[in-house]
């Protein structure tokens, strides 16, 4: 009897849409913005040119985009800046990545250029330093909250200023509404930080943030890296920069900066210590063929890169966009590490989402790619509870928008509250939040359901 061979099972070819993450914007895309129509590739890729031509005042911005937006948009943005907690700084790369045919809805515009017309009232329980970082700062420029980890803020400037910055209390120049807190920002002022870390043997892990490590001169990347590597108990370091998302060409044209970073990474590896880069992409449109080339340089030189995204309304708060971002990041060798709930930052309520949105998107993303490349969705518990998995709330009232969190390994016995944005609640509930006594009652009720009390609030 002849046995018939079962033909191998074939899966149908992947539909083209599933490969969308590989389609990266290429060519001279910046020519679409008339202000940059005469800029050749060598100039556009020059990081000095990008830094010099980043818009640093609203008027510079309006001049750059005047050919592609109308007067109503400019008036709207001018008033938006008057009320914004952050100063303006946007790179030509970002301005050229915005679809100016849709200026009101473009996800990159929403992150960097405020509009009065879309502004929403702050939640009444929102504060400027929502994470209470200054309470955990033993010396200026250092936050020591988790036993084995510290956050070093060596400078207060960034290559761009994001509307939603958690550290709007300190980052960038003063604005009409906010006098920025002064942090240490010169090599002399860093000495107490190194001394504190050296005197605390429990600290194994340092995040060097700010501000942004892109703004550190190469000699200071080396100075900071070597000073921390020389402390025996420091085992891990992360240089944090948004630069890859907003000015990727620096990796291609700033050889001294890349060499300084690689020097610290290589020295750390030789010592058995890990030094990596942490970056911050929020939307797939921030990734272009220039980013891919920059990542090729870092990957081939042995620099591991992780990404931290902020979940924002109208930017990445739908499953398809978040999935495309995750797939595009992993495609260019960036590890999609975290997606944060938007912190309770003043002046950007139009960008915040509810906890429920994070739960829904996490459910849609999980399983769509490898587990190690699936980001963990977290809420940085306001009041200093640290990062909590969004599923780990003790209680969540979707009607009042109050969620209650605990952090047993950070602040045992304490309770932390996160508030969904008012404008995602029903009109009745929004009215309740306008009455202070009712606010207190809604909070007390939520705490009671979670097994806590107002007295145990952090």
Which residues would be at the binding site for ligand SF4 (CB under 6 A)?
A: 158, 161-162, 165, 167, 171, 210, 212, 242
Among residues 73, 85, 172, which one has the least CA distance to residue 116?
73
68 burial level (CB within 10 Å; 0-12, 13-18, 19+): middle
Decide whether 76 or 343 has the Cβ nearer to ligand SF4. 343
Decide whether 88 or 322 has the Cβ nearer to ligand SF4. 88
Decide whether 77 or 94 has the Cβ nearer to ligand SF4. 94
**Cα separation of 244 and 249, whole Å?**
8
State in angstroms the smallest separation of the CB of 188 from ligand SF4: 22
Decide whether 168 or 400 has the Cβ nearer to ligand SF4. 168
State in angstroms the smallest separation of the CB of 175 from ligand SF4: 12
**Cα separation of 281 and 94, whole Å?**
12
**Cβ contact 248:191 at 8 Å:** no
Give the chain's end-to-end CA distance (angstroms, integer). 78
Say which residues have a Cβ less than 8 Å from residue 219's Cβ, sequence separation at least 6.
260
CA quadruple 380, 381, 382, 383: dihedral positive or negative?
Answer: negative
State in angstroms the smallest separation of the CB of 244 from ligand SF4: 11
State in angstroms the smallest separation of the CB of 310 from ligand SF4: 8
State in angstroms the smallest separation of the CB of 165 from ligand SF4: 3
State in angstroms the smallest separation of the CB of 256 from ligand SF4: 21
Decide whether 132 or 167 has the Cβ nearer to ligand SF4. 167
Say which residues have a Cβ less than 8 Å from residue 221's Cβ, sequence separation at least 6.
213, 239, 257, 260, 261, 264
272 burial level (CB within 10 Å; 0-12, 13-18, 19+): exposed
Decide whether 45 or 245 has the Cβ nearer to ligand SF4. 245
């Amino acid at each position: 009897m002849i046995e018939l061979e079962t033909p191998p099972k074939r899966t149908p070819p992947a539909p083209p849409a599933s490969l969308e993450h590989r389609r990266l914007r290429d060519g001279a895309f910046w020519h679409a913005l008339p202000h940059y129509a005469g800029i050749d590739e060598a100039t556009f890729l020059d990081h000095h040119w990008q830094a010099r031509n980043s818009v640093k005042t609203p008027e510079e911005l309006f001049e750059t985009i005047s050919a592609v937006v109308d007067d109503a948009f400019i008036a709207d943005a001018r008033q938006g800046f008057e009320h914004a907690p952050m100063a303006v700084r946007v790179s030509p790369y970002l301005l050229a990545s915005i679809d100016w045919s849709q200026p009101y809805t473009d996800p990159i515009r929403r992150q960097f250029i405020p509009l009065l017309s879309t502004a929403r009232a702050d939640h009444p329980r929102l504060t400027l330093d929502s994470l209470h970082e200054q309470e955990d700062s033993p010396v200026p420029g250092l936050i020591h909250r988790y036993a084995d980890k510290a956050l070093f803020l060596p400078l207060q400037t960034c290559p761009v200023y994001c509307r939603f910055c958690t550290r709007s209390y300190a980052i960038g120049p003063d604005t009409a509404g906010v006098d920025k807190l002064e942090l240490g920002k010169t090599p002399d002022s860093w000495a107490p930080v190194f001394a504190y870390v050296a005197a605390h043997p429990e600290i194994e892990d340092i995040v060097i943030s700010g501000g942004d490590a892109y703004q550190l001169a190469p000699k200071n990347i080396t100075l900071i890296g070597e000073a921390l590597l020389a402390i025996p108990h420091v085992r891990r370091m992360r240089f944090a920069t948004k630069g890859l998302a907003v000015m990727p060409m620096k990796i291609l044209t700033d050889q001294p900066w890349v060499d300084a970073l690689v020097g610290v990474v290589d020295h750390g590896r030789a010592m058995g210590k890990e030094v990596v880069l942490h970056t911050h992409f929020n939307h797939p449109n921030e990734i272009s063929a220039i980013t891919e080339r920059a990542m090729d340089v870092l990957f081939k030189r042995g620099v591991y890169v992780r990404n931290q995204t902020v979940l924002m309304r109208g930017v990445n708060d739908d499953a398809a966009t978040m999935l495309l971002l995750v797939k595009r990041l992993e495609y260019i060798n960036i590890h999609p590490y975290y997606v944060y709930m938007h912190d309770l930052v003043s002046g950007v309520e139009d960008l915040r989402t509810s906890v429920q949105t994070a739960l829904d998107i996490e459910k849609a993303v999980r399983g769509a790619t490898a587990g190690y490349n699936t980001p963990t969705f977290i809420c940085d518990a306001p009041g200093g509870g640290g990062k909590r998995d969004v599923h780990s709330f003790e209680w969540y009232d979707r009607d009042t928008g109050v969620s209650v969190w605990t952090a047993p390994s950070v602040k045992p016995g304490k309770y932390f509250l996160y508030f969904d944005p008012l404008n995602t609640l029903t009109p009745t509930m929004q009215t309740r939040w306008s009455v202070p006594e009712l606010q207190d009652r809604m909070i007390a009720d939520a705490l009671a359901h979670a097994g806590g009390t107002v007295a145990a609030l952090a």
